[in-house]
Chains A and B, each alone.
Chain A
């Protein structure tokens, strides 16, 4: 990849380019998270309908329980921002996956995913959310070699992005038990007196 990338930097390179110096926004102490909590927030990559679908999908995958879920963690807003700066191919894959979920929803229930009842949303997604194995009845070879399920692939992509967005948020960090402090040391390691083998 670099063999292509390096010569490609040559022609693109110009002596007139500004000499970069200075600090990253993080090192300047900027809080980059405020863009997501802006009261006038609007999607910049997905359209309003896709945004609603994304909110519904993320909340089914990571729901509000005794802790906040994906909607409150603004998973849709972070993914909208993230997708806005991704390569076109990745953007296309994401939109294809979202469209696939919606078209399956239309096929099965005659309506968009965001408008389904919670039970139907779960019913639609669950088969894609677990690994497949050959039939219990016949254990035929061919059931083990069936091509990867398209729905599973689309769903996996969306689920992993939603998980990244949720667990990467402040709400997600707290869901994992984070107390807001940065140091909990020193590391004490294995406390067992016997051996481990």
Chain B
């Protein structure tokens, strides 16, 4: 595929038509549903509800985004600081801890100076997030895995905490819906820990990865599969397959990876039933105390800082677990002094984020494949399915639950080659054949990991900010130690050399998989939401993002969040049809 130096001339004019802020009539219209947040789950809520004929207002805190600002084909030498911009260091000291926050795209990420939060001094937490149409779906890692009943019913097996109120059978049809629409490339493996779904052909494995897969199966009976990712390998729903340029997190001119602005949100707006309102920072949900129902939201216009209100018959909060929880905590009323929908006292508690830090790397010195300056850049890697504490492998002595690995094996240039001069230039090009595995482990639900409103901290719009208090515990530490050791063992068994392992735990937030602050359940005293993501306390208030998770499992959560959002929205549509809202 030919392209100009920046790729700019080939960008199709698919800029989304958005409602410019803001004719008064947009505010005075009456809506059936307000959806707060336009990311992976909010996009689905807007699509599902508006396609069912409901009048939807979709509120996004950030600005609209267009394909014209994508930078995936901009070489780094065109950046003034080649990705070491002082502006990123100054305005995104926290966001830049995310691999995807770069000199290319940092304006998509929140400005940390405008969006503060606090933590106890001994409990660092990194909160990495975007405020722009599509939210984190613009830069997400795209790995898309189903949870299984080993996850949904984990408490029944090991006695820790509680089961989810839903089972795999409840969610399977919605996984199907989401996968068919999104387009997930991957391979079926018939592994009970990772149910198979609706897949486009998988991306291909390198020689090193094929070797590791074979060795892992033969020596350990473990499954290594190609990453199941929301990146197209063939044309799908009007979108072109991946052109293998590499850095999805800088945008995609062919929309080959899934991001909500160019899929679900676009569909929602196309119905004519969905009004998209950008730059609308929701501060709280407004209650009608007489009827005990949410009557709409109050938001602050981002650029003018004017306060506005919007009214609807139901409110769906889908702003990301911590942000949604912040909105509900900031919506406290006389009837709900601890936060809206928080009669259980659990809102904000059981915050989870996958534990990362354990893993190993090495080299396959006998694989004589030179790195290429013109490689197809496969924008994903491989995945090792959880093998600890499974029905087949039994109970591990040191920890409960388990972890999976992401990784890859590719020839790379050897910039660390010894020497100087012409010989060094040659050695760089000879390269090394690397292999690495990094674990994502289950983070146990723990009441003491929580977020609350910091009474002394507000954001740039005057909205009270969060205080986040979370630490990984002994189980997570034992798991990462085991992950480092097993990764090294598996690399060694496959013939790798120069093996190095890591066994530590990174600070929470690093996996960017926050879930669990408004857990779902059947008992209103022990959960915030019902199994359809509806507030136990306020029947026309839903939270349809990762907040509802009861356990984190170890699989990347976005696919499950989307499936749960669709299930919750279909249920809401039914209630509208039965006139129950």
Give A residues with C-beta under 8 Å from B: 1-7, 9-10, 12-13, 15, 17, 19-33, 35, 60-63, 65, 67, 78, 81-82, 85-86, 122, 125-126, 129-131, 159-160, 163-164, 167-170, 172-190, 192, 195-197
Contact = CB atoms under 8 A, between A and B. Distances in A.
B104 A185 contact: no
Interface of B: 1-3, 5-8, 63, 69-82, 84-86, 89, 91, 93-94, 97, 103-107, 111-114, 116-126, 203-211, 214-215, 218, 233, 241-245, 302-303, 305, 371-378, 413, 415-416, 418-422, 424-425, 428-429, 456-458, 460, 462, 494-495, 507
Contacts of B372: 177, 184
A176 B76 CA distance: 15
A29 B6 contact: yes
Contact of B210 (A6, A130, A196): A196
A96 to B, nearest CB: 20
Contact of B80 (A12, A25, A176, A178): A25
Contacts of B457: 10
Contact of A190 (B106, B123, B209, B371): B209
B113 to A, nearest CB: 6
Nearest to B4: A182
Contacts of A7: 118, 121
B105 A24 contact: yes
A20 B103 contact: no
Given A26-B103, A190-B204, A15 B460 contact: yes
B82 A159 contact: no
B347 to A, nearest CB: 22
A63 B422 contact: yes
A168 to B, nearest CB: 5
Contacts of B72: 182
Most buried by A among B373, B494, B495: B373
Given A2-B125, A7-B121, A15-B462, A29 B203 contact: no
B69 A23 contact: yes
B218 A26 contact: no
20 contacts: A1-B124, A2-B97, A3-B121, A5-B94, A6-B117, A13-B113, A13-B460, A15-B462, A17-B113, A17-B114, A25-B80, A26-B71, A177-B374, A179-B374, A182-B7, A184-B375, A184-B376, A189-B206, A189-B210, A196-B210
Most buried by A among B116, B420, B422: B420
B353 to A, nearest CB: 14
A159 B85 CA distance: 21
Given A1-B124, A182-B245, A168 B82 contact: yes
Nearest to B246: A182
A153 to B, nearest CB: 15
Nearest to B90: A85
B77 A169 contact: yes
